[in-house]
Amino acid sequence: MVLAHVLAPARLGVYAFVLSFATVLTVPAMFGAPTLALREVAAAKARGDYGLMKGLLTRLHQFVALSSLAIAAIAAVFALLTPWGRSDPATVLWGVALIPLIPLSALRGGVLRGWGAVAQGQWPDLVLKPAVFLAGLGAVFLARRPLGPDEAMAMTALSSLAALAVGWWLYRRLRPAQLVLATPVYRSRAWLAALVPMGVTGGALLINGQIGVLLAGLDGAETAGLYRPAIQTSLIAGLGYTAVIAALAPRFAAAHAKGDREGLARTAAAGAALAVVTCLPFVALFAVAGGPLMRLVFGAPYAVAGPALAVMTLAQLCNATFGAASSALIMAGHERRAAVAFVAALAVHAGLGVVLIPRFGVDGAAWAYLGQMAVMNLVLWWQARTLLGLDTGVWAAWRLLRR
């Protein structure tokens, strides 16, 4: 969001488009590995099966490292052969550098969360990475150099490298002593079978988060430049939901491994209530003062994205209201069913975007985002009720309180 202060919407649009291009390519690079690591590590820890855990971590690190490096090499060659890649090669190459960095960092985060180190699994990406990015921007300003999309992308890549390095240090420091001494046990075929639906799920979810920028970019760099700060600002309203998911996912996996259905229900209900309570103030604020806030924070050219911000914040409220259904399904082994919801949401997002963005610009992109969020959450919630007998919606918290 800081970049909106120093880059015009069109130049910010170049940065956002390349970042989305690189982020989408991390999907096949990690293909569900962080989610599989989180689920299987938490379950293995609950059972005390450190041999299986060691074998899993070995295979997943091999898979992510090899696939991400191969995809990065292919993407660099392809991008530099296209007109948009040749027009700004430095931005493209720095963006391609993210392809191995993001999956490896996500894998380390999934392992740490599976071990129960939720904060340590999150803060390198959520705290350290933005801090290093801001420090890099500060160094550019002190050097009195003009900031362009290439410098901004370089800072993004270097901050991602710093987060990965610290994540590796935390991984080495927090790994259980039993893991170091254990003899690895491999179930490669079973893990590969689980990776496919998890890869589809994670890929659809990640692409869904980027397709708005990509579709907005097809309408023009300025539309993409307006969309990115609006969607990033709306995510502030979803921070409570993000924290809930990070904390609850390993608990879901452990509770399912132990057959604790009552614990699952109480955990899901409490998480949804907390997510909604933290989201509602931002819904009200951005609905009333979205335009003036965008003008104040990003500058006058971004004030027109105020209505889009209000709609996107409603999408965050929708997410919070239906709760952690996706985590409950995936941690319980129903990743194939969860994949259906994410793919359906991606199709809805793309379809609505193609129809609405050419006519309504950034506002159309916002309504497409809200539409896919509603479809995704409704399907996930229904599947959790049908398959697990678990109601993850915020209303379940009220029923539990009345008991």
Residues 99-154 pLDDT 10s: 999 999 999 999 998 888 888 888 888 889 988 988 888 787 777 777 778 888 88
Q: Which residues of 178-197 are buried (b: 16+ CB within 10 A; e: fewer)?
A: ebeebeeeeeeeebeebbeb
Query: Does residue 250 share a domain with residue 108?
Result: no
**Model pLDDT, residue 375:** 93
d(CA 317, CA 277): 10
Q: Are 136 and 205 within one domain? A: no
**Same-domain pairing of 282 and 296:** yes
Final residue belonging to a domain, choices 186, 214, 240: 186
Domain boundary residue among 139, 170, 186? Answer: 186
In a shared domain, residues 152 and 202: no
What domain range is 67 assigned to?
A: 1-186
Residues 230 and 315 occupy one common structural domain? yes
Q: What is the pLDDT of residues 238-260, one digit of tens each?
A: 887 877 777 766 776 666 666 66
The confidence score (pLDDT) of residue 59 equals 93
Task: Pick the range with the lowest mean pLDDT from 95-104, 193-202, 341-350.
Answer: 193-202
- 246 and 163, same structural domain? no
DSSP 175: S
Q: Give the pLDDT confidence score for residue 296 in this predicted structure.
A: 86
Between 397 and 177, residue with greater pLDDT: 177
| Angle between the N-to-C axes of helices 33-47 and 239-258, in degrees from 0 to 180, rounded to the nearest 10 | 40
Tokens linked to 327? 């985590």
pLDDT tier at 7 (50, 70, 90 boundaries)? low
pLDDT digits (tens, 9 = 90+) for 183-199: 999 998 888 888 877 77
Final residue belonging to a domain, choices 157, 186, 215: 186
DSSP structure class, residue 332:
T
**For 201-205, 334-338, 385-389, which range has the lowest pLDDT when averaged over its residues?**
201-205
Q: What is the distance in angstroms between the CA of the first residue and the CA of the last residue of the chain?
A: 45
Let me know whether 84 and 98 are in one domain.
yes
Residues 128 and 205 reside in one and the same domain = no
Tokens of 1: 């969001």
Q: Is 259 exposed, middle or buried (CB count within 10 Å of its CB: 0-12, 13-18, 19+)?
A: exposed
Cα separation of 394 and 84, whole Å? 45
Among 225, 206, 207, CA closest to 361: 225
Q: What is the pLDDT of residue 299?
A: 80
Domain count, the chain: 2
Q: Which of residues 291 and 201 earns the better pLDDT score?
A: 291
Which pLDDT band, with edges at 50, 70 and 90, does 3 fall under?
Answer: low
Provide mean pLDDT across the span 289-317: 90
Task: Based on the fold, state whether residues 220 and 311 are members of the same structural domain.
Answer: yes
Q: Which pLDDT does position 301 carry in this prediction?
A: 84
Q: Is the pLDDT of residue 9 over 70?
A: no
Task: Answer whether 5's CB lies under 8 Å from 13's CB.
Answer: no
**What is the C-alpha R_g of the chain?**
21
Of 1 and 217, more confident? 217
For residues 401 and 236, give the distance between their C-alpha atoms in angstroms, rounded to a whole number: 28
Share of the chain above pLDDT 70, in %: 90
pTM for the model: 0.66
- pLDDT for residue 403 is more than 60: no
Do 115 and 240 fall within a single domain?
no
Q: Can you give the pLDDT at residue 211?
A: 76
Q: How confident is the model at residue 263, as a pLDDT? A: 67
Q: Are residues 167 and 193 in the same domain?
A: no
pLDDT in tens, 36-59: 898 889 888 888 899 999 999 999
Residue range 267-287: mean pLDDT, rounded: 86
229 & 175 share domain: no
CA distances from 363 to 116, 238, 302, 351, 380 (A): 40, 20, 13, 15, 26
